[in-house]
Amino acid sequence: MTKRYFVGCACVVAALAAAALQAAPAARPLRFMSFNIFGAGYGGFGAEEREDRAIAVVRRQSPDVVSWQEVNAGWWKSRLFRDMAEYGVVRGDEDEALVRAGAKLSERRANWVNHEPLMYRKERLALLDSGLDFYHIALQVEKSLTWAVFEDKADGRRFIAFATHFWWQKNGAESDAIRELNARHVLDRVAAVRAKWGDLPVIGGGDFNCEKGSPALNAFAAAGYADAGEVAPVRSKIPSEHGRLVRDEQGRCRGRVGKAGEKGHCMLDHVVFDLRGAKALRHDVVIDEEAIHISDHSPVVADFLLLDVPSAGAAPLKMVDIAHRGMWDRTVPQNTVEAIRRAYENGARWVETDFHHTKAGQMVCMHAEGELKRYTGCAKRVADLTPDDLATLDLGSADKLDRPYRIPLLDEVLAVVPKDGVLQAEIKGYSPQYADIFDETVRKAGLTESNIVVSSFQYDALKDFKARYPKYRAVWLAGLPRDKPFNAAEWIARCKAANVEVFCPGCDTTKNVMTRADADAVRAAGLEFRVYGVNSPADMRQAAYLGATGFTSNFWRDAFVWARVIGGISL
């Protein structure tokens, strides 16, 4: 077996955290571990033959907080907690939680104990509050939620931690729905704790019994949470569930690691956190030999920095809602005159579309080759389209629409921009003639720079355009790398060098990469801060957290609903 060790930590975490510390200079990295330890006696594997290794794994990883799962009565009788005096244990009031869940204490069974306790390092953390909820007595009392409010003794920072284990069966939509209810129970409990203790950062984890894209994890995402295994700059993709325990020839307890794609080989264990309150530095699945031979699940370890959660201001955050490529659907293709006109007629003030300069000297509205082939079947590059192509290619052919939709020219698009409307024109297929032709077409359309904003991912193209026509406001679209911290000074300097007024990273790429302090630094430099790609409530929460003043969206009308649900946002 290949050995993998999540070593020590101090030097690795310090290197990763160095730049991030500027957002919260007093913060120290916090280590969170989640571990489904496999119930004592399950399959004939008692606690006594695994407790020494379990204690050794925890001490080697040295977490500040541990979320345990499957700590049944046998484990509570073991040395697992008793011998680690450096840790405190949050178990909760089991009688109170059982009654609240509908159980009769007169019928209490020996195994009706908290299977998902929290453990915390007493030297570093003080316990301020805690509680326990059982999810469903009728289904399975072993699945529960333990929560706690901790305070770092060194810097006074407070946070909420939770341990949980979701419903386990895999019978399709029914079980997915139960796990989603478990997730919403967690979110409701966190909201209640915050109502008492304030808007604290949240970090929690456990065996969610589901993978990326599941309804339960989507519920967390919609509430502004992220999975450390998806966003940490250093992260492991090794599946956390490696298969049931077996015995070797000598009768010793051994875990087995299945092959990729086999049953019992998936990422079921997750550490999630509120993006506003914490920053994930590193995530790892521990598969050294001792960890493997304790359970059918490997421990998951994640390192975080706690951030200062921005307080909500009295005035709502005003954001510009930009209709990305018009108002399009299965009946009206994107980037067509009809989609653009429909957006303006239905109340959009801003619309964003894409423009290429073809070799034939025409400015055409089209995103890229992928959409050209998908909608028309034409395999050409957009830059190679001819006047004949523009007159004959049908953007509605892929969906077999009743009428043809043509690829529009720039002047045709400008003709439907109202006098009080704004068109954000994204530069594609740039050429030496692009800026001159663009400006001339705008003037002929009777529009001014108040109606037009230019944007681009192509930094050099945007810089050249602005050097020629500084009167147009410019937006730099930036995809941020996930594997390194955001360097505000570097991005600001590049914006200034190109005479760009608006810095606009991808909303998804900012998650766990940018903090509110980073966005504030951009604004303090005199730049406007927007994001592109707000296509879900989770995206809008992130945009609001960063204080973005505008965004593009494929679902610009739905954004009004998201804003009302989230609150504190004015579109």
Condensed to tens digits (0 to 9), the pLDDT of residues 509-541 reads 999 999 999 999 999 999 999 999 999 999 999
Residue 564 parent element (H or E): helix 558-566
Residues 438 and 458 in one domain: yes
Average pLDDT over the chain, rounded to an integer: 90
Structure tokens at 364: 């055409």
The answer to whether residues 383 and 358 touch, using CB atoms and an 8 Å cutoff, is yes
Condensed to tens digits (0 to 9), the pLDDT of residues 356-375 reads 999 999 999 999 888 888 88
Q: Residue 268 domain-assigned?
A: yes
CATH number (domain holding residue 457): 3.20.20.190
Question: Would you call 126 exposed, middle or buried from its count of C-beta atoms within 10 A (0-12, 13-18, 19+)?
Answer: middle
Angle at 309 between CA 145 and CA 68, to 5 degrees: 25
Residues 342 and 300 in one domain: no
Residues 285 and 351 in one domain: no
pLDDT grade, residue 41 (50/70/90)?
A: very high
State how far the alpha carbon of 112 is from the alpha carbons of 25, 80, 88, 135, 273, in Å.
44, 19, 21, 13, 29
Residues 296 and 334 in one domain: no
Task: Tell me the three state secondary structure of residue 226.
Answer: strand
Return the pLDDT at 141.
67
**Overall number of domains in the chain:** 2
For residue 10, pLDDT over 60 is answered with no
Give which of 452, 451, 509, 507 is closest to 485, Cα–Cα. Answer: 509
Domain span at residue 73 reads 10-306
Condensed to tens digits (0 to 9), the pLDDT of residues 549-558 reads 999 999 999 9
Residues 155 and 219 in one domain: yes
Residues 155 and 72 in one domain: yes
| pTM of the entire predicted model | 0.85
Residues 321 and 299 in one domain: no
Residues 45 and 75 in one domain: yes
Condensed to tens digits (0 to 9), the pLDDT of residues 306-332 reads 998 776 555 789 999 999 999 998 889
Condensed to tens digits (0 to 9), the pLDDT of residues 257-285 reads 555 444 457 889 999 999 999 999 999 99
Q: Residue 393 domain-assigned?
A: no
Q: Residue 400 domain-assigned?
A: no
Q: What percent of the chain has pLDDT over 90?
A: 73
Residues 295 and 321 in one domain: no
Return the amino acid letter for 127. Answer: L
Residue ranges of alpha helices (H) inside 205-281 are 215-222, 228-231
Residues 333 and 276 in one domain: no
